[in-house]
Amino acid sequence: MRRTLDLALAEASDERLLGAWVREVLPNPDVGRLRVVVEVGPEVDPDEVLGLLNAAQGHLRAEVAGAIHRKRTPDLMFQVVPRESGAGSREP
């Protein structure tokens, strides 16, 4: 699921999302939700990226739905964090 979301971000038309990548996807105590931790570089405002991710949630959920085999696609909750110093761009 992390890879699916990471690829969707890499294909984003908004350049503010192009430098973002999914660090991890964590299950929430509520089974119907996932917390998606997205890392951004220092040149990008994390709050702005959070707004963009929330606005794109429908598209991102559709990408997840195509990659999983469940009756219901989980809701996505985003957390945007600054990239750790010395970290590369996208993880393999």
pLDDT in tens, 41-58: 988 899 999 999 999 999
Decide: pTM greater than 0.85.
no
Structure tokens at 20: 């973002």
Q: How many CA atoms lie within 13 A of 72 on its CB side?
A: 7
pLDDT in tens, 14-38: 888 888 999 999 988 877 899 999 9
Domains and CATH numbers, the chain: 2-82 (3.30.300.20)
Cβ-contact 42, 22 below 8 angstroms: no
